[in-house]
Amino acid sequence: MPEGHTIHRLARDVRSRLGGQQLSAASPQGRFSSGAALVDGRTLHRVDAHGKHLFLAVDDRWIHIHLGLFGRVTFSPTPASPPRGAVRLRLVGDDTVLDLRGPTACEVISPDDKRALHARLGADPLRRDADPERAYERLTRRRLPIGALLLDQSLVAGIGNVYRAELLHRAALSPHREGRSVSAAEWAGLWDDTVTQLRAGVRSGRIVTTAREHRDRPSGRARRTDAHYVYRRSGLPCRRCGSAVAADEMAARTIFWCPTCQSV
């Protein structure tokens, strides 16, 4: 389930479970054997996240991980049991085993490589050093629709297909609005809500964007199907107004929106 909130939550978990420990590293599946050999026996002294990228500092190098669409990390207690499935990387610390499966990227990089990666990533709503004004300046120079721009990781780092649809709905902005027509006030509202929503996502480990009164159950605890206003609800009622949710391709992904709540 990897959007930015997943990665920051993962960073927190890796830090608390394996931080400061000497690791043994291996690639049971074999595709990261040389990288694992480089970090085997070294100490994990820092963990960093930017957008959907995770960085683990082992002495003078970094392990760079990007989960992509399918990647997953699981933790289990020591002693390590035989790996199940295609485990790209296994890290074993004092009492925790980390297994990484299916990432788009898992590589050992230098500090310079890491700087270069940060340089091509945009404002991360979950980082203190985020610069939303700079993101806005760049946004307003573009003719592309806001729905496409929100997925551009060099503008805002960490938003994925679920948050894109839900944040635009919460802001009452049509995904088709051109970036350059978005006002400073609209952007400020969208950014603030993005920070709020992603932080909630880190806390809960889930993407729940609906307000309590829009969820089906009065308990307020969202079921899987209650969690979104429009995402993956094509043809179903918008959870705020009841109009049929529309869907289209935008930036090579399916965008969902409510034509009533989100007028152009």
Partner DNA sequence: GCAAAATGTCAAG
Partner DNA sequence: TTGACCTTTTGCA
Active site residues: 2-3, 52, 253
The whole-angstrom separation of Cα 101 and Cα 222 is 28
Nearer to DNA (CB atom), residue 39 or residue 54: 54
Q: Under the criterion CB under 7 A, does residue 127 sit at the interface with DNA? A: no
Q: For residue 72, state whether it binds DNA (rule: CB under 7 A).
A: yes
Of 177-236, binders to DNA (CB under 7 A) are 207, 232
Residue 8 is a binding residue for DNA (CB under 7 A): no
Contact positions with DNA (CB under 7 A) in 13-32: 29, 31
Binding mask 101-120 for DNA (x = CB under 7 A): xxxx----------------
Who's near 259: CB < 8 A, 6+ residues apart? 243, 246
Residue type, position 259, single letter = P
- Residue with Cβ nearer DNA (57 or 151): 151
Q: Which is nearer to DNA, 22 or 251 (CB)?
A: 251
Nearest approach in angstroms of CB 100 to DNA is 9
Stretch of residues binding DNA (CB under 7 A), selected from 10-18, 41-49, 153-161, 187-195 = 153-161
Q: Which two tokens stand for residue 52?
A: 């959907």
Q: How far is the C-alpha of 151 from the C-alpha of 254, rounded, in Å? A: 12
Minimum Å gap between C-beta 72 and DNA is: 6
Indicate whether 162 belongs to the interface with DNA (CB under 7 A): yes
Among 96, 161, 194, 262, binds DNA (CB under 7 A): 161
Which residues are near DNA by CB under 7 A? 1-3, 6, 29, 31, 51-52, 66, 68-72, 84-88, 101-104, 151, 153, 160-162, 207, 232, 252-254
